[in-house]
Structure 1
Amino acid sequence: MDSDRVIVMDSKNQSKSKLNKTEKKFLRKQTKARHTLLRHEGIDTVSHATQCLVVANGGLGNGVSRSQVLPVLEQCGLVDALLMPPNKPYSFVRYKTTEESKKAYHTLNGKEIVDDLGQKIILYLNFVEKVQWKEMGLQVLPPGLMVVEDIISSEDEKMFLESINWTESTDNQNVQKSLRHRRVKHFGYEFHYETNSVDKSKPLPGGLPEICNGILEKWLKEGYIKHKPDQLTINQYEPGHGIPAHIDTHSAFEDEIISLSLGAEIVMDFKHPDGVTVPVMLPRRSLLVMTGESRYLWTHGITPRKFDTVPASESHKSGVIVSDVGDLTLNKRGARTSFTFRKVRQASCHCSYPLVCDSQTKEIAPSFPESDKDASQLEQEYVHQVYEEIARHFSSTRHTPWPNIVAFLKALPSGSVVVDIGCGNGKYLGINNEVHMIGCDRSQNLVDICRERQFQAFVCDALAVPIRSGSCDACISIAVIHHFATAERRMAALQELVRLLRPGGKALVYVWAMEQEYNKQKSKYLKGTRNNRGKEEEISSDASVHGLPVEQGPGVGNGDSACPAPSAPSVSDFQERGCNSRKATNSKLPIHTNRTSFHSQDLLVPWHFKGSPSKNKPAEPLGTVGSPDPSPVFHRYYHVFCQGELEAACQTLSNVSILQSYHDQGNWCVVLQKL
């Protein structure tokens, strides 16, 4: 009897112990969610009860729709308002009374719900006094863009879809290809995705399908189009998949590009080179017409995802997805077929956007500095000042070192003296504890970060490093030299590296490559690499240039080599996206579109600054759509190197041999040795 009783008591104590562990684990996760929201969004929670709650992991950006979370919240009382900001992994709820919100806090905290994909999500609730978030920047269609709803009837839609013969063509009148996640047919001319153009010398026999003639004549008569197309691409998309952002090549097609959406609606993202993104709803049986600026300057693409953020009501069927946070939900994608029509251009393009026009950039050379003084001023404005501003944000995107650079540093003999010229946040300064390593950078704010991390670093220019000649066993220059604005200044930076080396000393140099596709493999920059949590990384070779860091360019700055499939973000891995362009008004250099191939060697590359709202700025009250200043976009100067250019420059150096030359994820790299 006594023995049995002891066993029962021990069992009860053990259950109590397990419960305490569960409670502690939950409290840790709730605290983590609260701190994450404050860090990334400036959402300050409070310990006392209010009518308002922030629901972490219960947002559109987390794969949770309004129809899923609202019934759960209504179990605890009358919901006065449910606000779901676009692309955010949280939502805000206001109850009629504080008692109801307290009930929700105690009842729903830690509640597990299942999203439309069958994934389990745990909600974490905290009280808030005020609500704040960053609004989407632009709320109008890009200039020249038009969406026409119900352009054809449902009967015509069925006829068009049934007319497509997806069996292999035997009459050579079209080209059919099965790409990953979609099937494609081309008529008139084959559309080449690698160049976003056609081979004008190789028209396909047969022209466009007969079924298209009548509807194209009707659109011409009604004024929707001005040219009758002679090229057609039919894409059949699997649900959840899309196409990369791109601009159809200027010289290949006339102004109008039109696309008929059949089978399902979709959200297409339009992006300006300065960073402004506009999501546009394309309903089923609608016609998209791109002309002027929207056709020539803005990229268009479809983000691969299972759900789109759309208005919950029927008030906005097409056009811009406005950020009415009280009327947004998720829409599951279906199978969609698009008919995209183009008119092949027979002459050169003379559009009003020469800096992004392939016809005109061949004729107009970029504006280069005419003197060393001008070059220095350009670097000051588009390199040094930019990285002073973005230093903290830049540092937050740079974590994992690159394998080849790590291998170079770890192969150095014990006791070697090594200098990292353009050390950025010091990512490489602690790689090998057996060597004596020091960093230098042109950015005071980046050097401050190095010192906070207990690394030795100082401020200097890469053209004049205050270290005695011949005193270093090794040097590294990672993504630095491409920020100098003339060939003479780039050579001077290489000569300064060699000056520091002792005889026999080695230097490793990385610069961005013009060739982002090499040996039939695209760099991770073009692929839009994601890390092991499904979050898209800031892309770059990392390190600073001239002491300044880089971003969204070749290579993977965070060093992840694996690229798993994307997953829904949670509050813990949320990173805000903003867009408020700072125009590059003082330069005639072309502005690069991130995640696309380079079309010019000298250009400005945007950095999309992501940061929390100012803590001194008052928060917006619940139910009010605020419009705090969107995040800025900075522009940085780069000279991207063509194949052989870096190696040829190094060969002109005296007393130097090239030990190795290679391409590494969108970078040209050399290993030098001083003779």
Structure 2
Amino acid sequence: MGFPRFERPKGLDGESSPNLYVANCGPAVGLSFDTIASVFSTFGEVNGVYAADESGTRVIVSYIEESSAQTALKALNRRPCPDLGGRFLHIQYSIMQLPKQVNTNDSIPVSLVASELNIPGLHLWHDFVTATEEEELLAAVDDRPWKSLAKRRVQHYGYEFLYETRNINTRESMGELPSFISPILERISLISNLDNAANIVLDQVTVNEYPSGVGLSPHIDTHSAFEGLIFSLSLAGPCIMEFRRYSEGVSLPKPDSITDNQVENPNSSSNFIRRAIYLPPRSMLLLSGEARYAWLHYIPHHKIDLVKDSAIRRGSRRVSFTFRKVRTGPCKCEFPQHCDSQS
């Protein structure tokens, strides 16, 4: 699957666009997307910065307002930019188009904030960690051994998650959680709008590394395995996460029985409600209450996601840290139809 395509506007030479094609700018010349976004945001709210191609030296800067793009082009085109290493930028207007390989027939609106989804118990915090902390966390796990699954790699801390049973063995502790995640645990305990966040002792962590295009089958984390707060920190690359709530009386499909085609074409069933949210790098997602116990969550197998009419390419990898509390007794939640302890 290729990169999103970008074209000059058709029509009069003076026609503009909220998207700017910026050459001599990108990771290959030592400029991160965050740095580029920071500089261009001085001219208006930036919707996103995307790779224009595989060169690493050309990007698309997408603004919310067309006037912001006009101001930025006038200020920066063919001039040295001190905040970008003094590089001369070559800028022109661009129209972002989805590549032909992207099938949007089954797409649904993707929200940027959790409140838009109307799923009780779902929360999302942007920039939960800094870019420096992100680099340190990635370096820490890359220094440790990975376990290879069919399409991704994993690490487990505290207790190993057993994919065969979708559960854990509470009698086989792997020891204390590593010190490099202690700052994250402390930050979770300081979340002010969650009454029990400060009291829960998270004791199990699973680190997943997803290569570009690899997703996750729809599932609900086993009720009897973990307590009611599940935190997921996204690092390195973005993705969208979708949620399904099945109608009463409908049997939930088993994750291993769902094919990629069913995941990518979920509109074929009218037995569930769908929601979707965009997870940017360094964001923290919380599943609690109904969101944790009654909604299936999954990551579509895409290399490019459609978010607010923009094509966002996933990174070469996405690494997630999932923090959970191991349950020591049966689950007594309010959703017995989804609960293995009560079924």
| Fold equivalence (TM over 0.5) | yes
Q: TM-score range by the shorter chain?
A: 0.5 to 0.7
Residue 358 (str. 1) matches residue 331 (str. 2): no
Q: Choose between structure 1 and 2 for higher RCO, CA contacts under 8 A separated by at least 6 residues.
A: 2
Normalised TM-score (structure 1): 0.31
Matches within 5 A, 1:16-35: none
Distance 2:189 2:339 in 1: 27
Distance 1:343 1:255 in 2: 8
Give the counterpart of 2:8 among 63, 71, 82. 71
Name 1:263's counterpart in structure 2: 236
Any gaps of 5 or more consecutive residues in structure 2? 19-96, 248-271
Distance 1:234 1:134 in 2: 28
Alpha-carbon displacement from aligned partner over 1:275-323 (angstroms, at most 9, x marks no partner): 1111111111110010001100101111111101113xxxxxxxxxxxx
Distance 1:253 1:191 in 2: 11
Contact persistence 2:215–2:300 (CA under 8 A): yes
RMSD: 3.3
- 3-state DSSP of counterpart to 2:8: helix
Change (3 A) 1:310 1:75: farther
Distance 2:180 2:118 in 1: 31
Alpha-carbon displacement from aligned partner over 1:596-640 (angstroms, at most 9, x marks no partner): xxxxxxxxxxxxxxxxxxxxxxxxxxxxxxxxxxxxxxxxxxxxx
Using the TM superposition, give the Cα deviation of residue 162 of structure 1 relative to its aligned residue in structure 2, in angstroms: 0.9
Contact persistence 1:255–1:292 (CA under 8 A): yes
Give the counterpart of 2:219 among 246, 259, 263. 246
Alpha-carbon displacement from aligned partner over 1:147-185 (angstroms, at most 9, x marks no partner): 0011111111111111114554xxxxxxx4111332100
Name 1:214's counterpart in structure 2: 183
Contact persistence 1:184–1:233 (CA under 8 A): yes
Give the counterpart of 2:133 among 142, 156, 176. 156
Contact persistence 2:9–2:17 (CA under 8 A): no
Name 1:310's counterpart in structure 2: 307
Using the TM superposition, give the Cα deviation of residue 80 of structure 1 relative to its aligned residue in structure 2, in angstroms: 11
Name 2:293's counterpart in structure 1: 296
- Return the index of the structure with the highest Cα Rg: 1
Aligned-partner residue type, residue 71 of structure 1: R
Name 2:80's counterpart in structure 1: none
Aligned-partner residue type, residue 322 of structure 2: T
Alpha-carbon displacement from aligned partner over 1:438-490 (angstroms, at most 9, x marks no partner): xxxxxxxxxxxxxxxxxxxxxxxxxxxxxxxxxxxxxxxxxxxxxxxxxxxxx
Residue 188 (str. 1) matches residue 158 (str. 2): yes
Name 2:74's counterpart in structure 1: none
Name 2:170's counterpart in structure 1: 200
Distance 1:273 1:244 in 2: 15
Matches within 5 A, 1:470-489: none
Contact persistence 2:117–2:276 (CA under 8 A): no
Distance 2:279 2:110 in 1: 20
Greater fraction of residues in strand: 2
- 3-state DSSP of counterpart to 1:155: helix
Identity %: 37
Change (3 A) 1:286 1:329: same
Any gaps of 5 or more consecutive residues in structure 1? 1-61, 82-114, 122-132, 169-175, 312-327, 362-675
Alpha-carbon displacement from aligned partner over 1:567-598 (angstroms, at most 9, x marks no partner): xxxxxxxxxxxxxxxxxxxxxxxxxxxxxxxx
Normalised TM-score (structure 2): 0.60
Residue 339 (str. 1) matches residue 321 (str. 2): yes
Alpha-carbon displacement from aligned partner over 1:11-49 (angstroms, at most 9, x marks no partner): xxxxxxxxxxxxxxxxxxxxxxxxxxxxxxxxxxxxxxx
- 3-state DSSP of counterpart to 1:294: helix
Residue 286 (str. 1) matches residue 286 (str. 2): no
Name 1:349's counterpart in structure 2: 331
Aligned-partner residue type, residue 217 of structure 1: E
Using the TM superposition, give the Cα deviation of residue 356 of structure 1 relative to its aligned residue in structure 2, in angstroms: 1.0
Distance 1:240 1:209 in 2: 29
Aligned-partner residue type, residue 354 of structure 1: P
